[in-house]
Amino acid sequence: MPLAELDNLARIGKLKAEPSAASELEGLLRSGTARLADAQRAELNPESRFDLAYNAAHAFSLAALRWHGYRSENRYLVFQTLSHTLKLPAAQWRVLDDAHRKRNLAEYEGVIEVDEALLAALLRVTAELEQRVRALLDAPPGRST
């Protein structure tokens, strides 16, 4: 059964309803896993690790949204739906919100200021997303159940 909250977002045009293909979910998961593994490498620059972890978090979050039968081109919205798609607790969602804002500052104002606490938190939350999305994908796709 589709989630009512996601359905409402689709009705107001924030999300697009579209069934997912298994190959697409696998691709997102593979991309997320590879980036998260590289993000853990302490010999890389914190800025690169931050980018890798951020993109891994996005791939896992998008996989969860696609599993539920929706898509969005808006990265922020993909993160915002995590409280529904993966039942992510608010304190963890806020870390992704912080990371998203930090990334925007970096892209648009050239301010790259990755502090240790944010990188460590992003790595933890992204690993949590991977676990949760893998558990979800073990179940049959959302819109057909």
Partner 1 sequence: MPKMGIKTAVKKTPTGRTSLSDALFTRTQQRVLGLLFGQPGRSFFATELIGLVGTGSGAVQRELKRLAESGLATVTSVGNQRHYQANPASPLFAPLREIALKTSGLAEPLRAALQPLARRVLAACVYGSVAAGRDTASSDIDLLLVAESMTLEQAHAALEATEQLLARRISVTLYTPAEFRRRKKGGNAFVTKLLAGALIPLLGDIRALG
The binding site for partner 1 (CB under 8 A) comprises: 90-92, 94-95, 98, 101, 113, 115-118, 120-121, 124-125
When the beta carbons of 43 and 109 are compared against partner 1, the nearer one is 109
**Cβ proximity of 25 and 63 under 8 Å:** yes
CA distance to 3, 38, 87, 104, per residue, from 114 (Å): 35, 17, 27, 12
When the beta carbons of 65 and 95 are compared against partner 1, the nearer one is 95
Question: Cβ 31 to partner 1, closest distance in Å?
Answer: 25
Question: Cβ 122 to partner 1, closest distance in Å?
Answer: 9
Element spanning 70, H or E = strand 70-71
Question: Cβ 65 to partner 1, closest distance in Å?
Answer: 22
**Cβ proximity of 91 and 73 under 8 Å:** no
Q: What are the φ/ψ torsions at residue 117 (nearest 5 degrees)?
A: -65, -40
- 30 contact partners, CB below 8 Å, separation of at least 6: none
Question: Cβ 6 to partner 1, closest distance in Å?
Answer: 23
Question: Cβ 57 to partner 1, closest distance in Å?
Answer: 14
When the beta carbons of 114 and 136 are compared against partner 1, the nearer one is 114
Q: Is the dihedral of CA 69, 73, 78, 84 positive or negative?
A: negative
When the beta carbons of 107 and 113 are compared against partner 1, the nearer one is 113
When the beta carbons of 36 and 88 are compared against partner 1, the nearer one is 88
